[in-house]
Amino acid sequence: METKEIRASHRYARISDQKAREVTRAITGMPASHALNVLNFTPKKAAVLIGKVLRSAIANAAVLHEIDADDLYVKSALAIKGPILHRIMPRARGSAAPIRKRMAHIIVIVATKPEGFGEKKKNVKKGESADAVVADAPKKSRRRAKKQ
């Protein structure tokens, strides 16, 4: 099955790229529906903006390519520096302090899930079964020994 990539972007978003990048790192690699849930419960301005872009990417996939949202995952989410509006704040004795109103370009790329997406890989040596690896694993003690 060939993987398709669908993108959506929000250019000139009035938020710092560093603040937006903090949220984009959290959702990269997640299934699209799970990423939407994470963004809904993230208490940051960037989460609202990135959520809108992710919903747009999912809608683009549904309308343009007829792909169901359950078959998508967030391949990459980027927050790139945009232009900066330079302002000044008057200060004491006729001086001025700079104010930088930063902007970011938010880009979300979703793709169809590849084969075996989401399955955990076990460290199995050649010639052993996965059950043997689990049985040989050391068990952790439930309590620490008290020092006396």
The domains located in the chain, with CATH, are 5-89+96-114 (3.90.470.10)
Prediction pTM value: 0.77
pLDDT at 38 (0 to 100): 96
* H/E stretch holding 72: strand 72-90
∠ Cα 101 106 108 (to 5°): 170
- For residues 17 and 102, is the Cβ–Cβ distance under 8 A? yes
DSSP H or E run through 87: strand 72-90
pLDDT in tens, 44-101: 999 999 999 999 999 999 999 999 999 999 999 999 999 999 999 999 999 999 999 9
pLDDT for 2: 77
Q: Contact at 8 Å (CB) between 111 and 6?
A: yes
Is the sign of the CA dihedral 127, 129, 132, 133 positive or negative?
Answer: positive
Q: What percent of the chain has pLDDT over 70?
A: 80
